[in-house]
Structure 1
Amino acid sequence: MAPAPQRPYKLPESVLVVIHTPALEVLLIRRTGGEGHWQSVTGSKDALDEPFAETARREVAEETGIDTQAPGCLLTDWALENVYDIWPQWLHRYAPGVVRNRERVFGLCVPLGTPVVLSPREHDAYEWLPWQQAADRCFSASNAEACLLLPRFVHPR
């Protein structure tokens, strides 16, 4: 019997997409696996040459079922990047020696009432929260900061 094919390593380049309504209610999704971590949509590039915007569109569709190009939706590249250490329990997903990840931040404004269909292998619950409460709920500091920045990107001065 042939050995199972090895999964390719994750690339250390990812996106964070803050999905929100015009009233600044933020969609948070809870990761499966017992930790109960609440977060926005995140995910890694599939290939080094994949544009971050394409990664954002793909990850939003995979994790929430939302089409970023549907009428009333607006995906915005915030031109912000976070670089952080990969958590030790997740290092095995990356090539040997990779210890840091670069994350590009996007916002996705969706109409009120946009349906959410979770990928059950990744997330088991979702909720819409006012942006300040969403920031408080996020387990990741960079995700919380992105929620707090939301009003600046939606209503720039």
Structure 2
Amino acid sequence: MASLNKVMLLGNLTRDPELRYAPNGTPIANFGMAINRRYRQGEEWREEVCYIDIVTFGRQAETVGEYLSKGNLAMIEGRLQWRSWETEDGQKRSKHEVVANNVQFMPRMQGDGGGMGAPGGGRADSASAPPSRNTYAPPRDTMPPPEMPMPEDDDIPF
């Protein structure tokens, strides 16, 4: 049976990364992310937030610890992992977390009063307004040329 464990997330850090080192010297960074989902329910716009714990290792963990902080926007690629442990008082605990293979630092968005780049990922406008739609038109020099007529057999040199 085939399986796939791949996670891609884009969201804001909910806390500063905590950098520590394993007994063998491997750097480990832990941080939380908030991923917002905006949807329409009837005539109202709603927003739900999913909080995810992220862990990363090695040089990437050191880089995350140095350059990211609470409120920064980041894109995470990794895998979902189930972790369980026992507390000092004997309670069993467990949780899902994302082990990040790639952390992409994202620029802060400017212009619409905050947007996703604002700390906490909030919007400055009211909850009843629809989300802004960014439109993209490719530069003119990258657009395909207009349709050209097909040459006749007599026009082909071979």
Same-fold call, TM > 0.5? no
TM-score, structure 1 normalization: 0.26
* Structure number with larger C-alpha Rg: 2
Structure with greater proportional helix content: 1
Structure with greater proportional strand content: 2
Considering Cα pairs closer than 8 Å and 6+ residues apart, tell me whether 1 or 2 has the greater RCO: 1
TM-score, structure 2 normalization: 0.26
